Amino acid sequence: MPKADNAEAAGLRVVVLGGTGFLGRRIGEAFTADGALVHLVSRSPERDGTAGPRSVGIDLLTAGPRELTEFFGSVRPDVVVNAAGRAWRADEAEMTAGNADLVARVTESLVRLPHVPRLIQLGTVHEYGAGTPGAGTSEDQEPAPVTPYGRTKLLGTRIVLRAAAEHGLDGVVLRLANVIGAGAPAGSLFGMVAAHLGEAARAQSLGEKPDELRLPPLRAHRDIVDAHDAVDAVRAAATAPGTELGGQVVNIGRGEAVPMQELIHRMVELSGVDLPVVESVADQPGRNDAQWLQLDVSRARRLLRWQPRRTLDASLRDLLTAALPTPVNGRK
């Protein structure tokens, strides 16, 4: 298992695409703490501080291979992490642009470099489609995604694997379970529930009755991974031996399917907010999510020496502490 201080990453030149996003920001901070020289690439870069990652302004959705090649050539990265993409509030064409077309331009640029870096592509469990209830899905299962997000992320995965097979790209795809942690995207179920609980807590503190929490049917079972654990998997992939890792897909999750109904009710319980949770009778129109998503993470243990460390309660507390106006269980 990777150590908290990844000494092997010290001195590496690391580029994080999507570096101001939910996971990208954490990845950049973690590599910086490891002693790496980090460049965070995003359309809206943040002002550089006196120390820490360097922000680079590039619109990844419009940047062509030449612009990307020039940038990578100037930085000469050892590792490129692609944490960019489209998931929420986007149609399939927009997701294709962010999750597949961008990956094609990145791989095309990287294989042109004199020194080809390792590419760590962040994939998703939704590439698999429906799993088998009671069992974990291994990387050998043929993907059959049922959502636009899953389909477009699978296109990105196949682009990386093809570049590895045909052009020698040192590329690995980390297929992430549903990621949870502080600042979860507002479009996700966890982010939406956290935001509602924050508003309800503020209403309750003013003596007002909070609005009930209305949700679609919570019948699904999902594999959940903490954001900190996901970042540790990226750190491990950056320094793992390339002879074993290149051209691989590696599942990153808890290795268990959690009932979403129980998880959301536990989230409400930990928040301390007294409000009813109301599930609609019918599914939302157009939704076709797989009801069972569970990953087999044995390859991650073998190749990355990685396994999840954090409990679900710890993940939920992180999420709630960031959303609520008062500490959760004494935490700030």
What's the pLDDT at 105? Answer: 97
- What span, in angstroms and rounded, lies between the C-alpha atoms of 18 and 41? 6
Contact between 78 and 118 under an 8 Å Cβ cutoff? The reply is yes
Query: What is the CA angle 39-44-47, rounded to 5?
Result: 60
Single-letter amino acid, residue 125: V
> Could you tell me which residues are beta bridge partners of residue 292?
221
Q: Give me the catalytic one of 128, 149, 190, 306.
A: 149
| pLDDT score of 222 more than 50 | yes
- What span, in angstroms and rounded, lies between the C-alpha atoms of 244 and 250? 11
What's the pLDDT at 1? Answer: 44
| pLDDT score of 220 more than 80 | yes
Share of the chain above pLDDT 70, in %: 92
Beta-strand pair 277-279/248-252: unpaired
For residue 66, report the phi and psi dihedrals to the nearest 5 degrees: -65, -45
Per-residue pLDDT band at 239 (split at 50, 70, 90): very high
- Edge-to-edge strands, sheet with 79-82: 54-57, 37-42, 13-17, 79-82, 118-124, 170-176, 248-252
Q: Is the dihedral of CA 65, 66, 70, 73 positive or negative?
A: positive
pTM attached to this predicted model: 0.92
By the 10 Å C-beta count (0-12 exposed, 13-18 middle, 19+ buried), 114 is classed as exposed
| pLDDT score of 187 more than 90 | no
Catalytic residue list contains 149? yes
Contact between 118 and 170 under an 8 Å Cβ cutoff? The reply is yes
Per-residue pLDDT band at 331 (split at 50, 70, 90): very low
Contact between 131 and 150 under an 8 Å Cβ cutoff? The reply is no
| pLDDT score of 5 more than 70 | no
Single-letter amino acid, residue 304: L
> Token digits for 83?
């944490």
By the 10 Å C-beta count (0-12 exposed, 13-18 middle, 19+ buried), 265 is classed as middle
| pLDDT score of 328 more than 80 | no
What's the pLDDT at 53? Answer: 85
**Which of 4-8, 80-84, 107-111, 189-193 bottoms out in mean pLDDT, i.e. has the lowest?**
4-8
Single-letter amino acid, residue 146: V
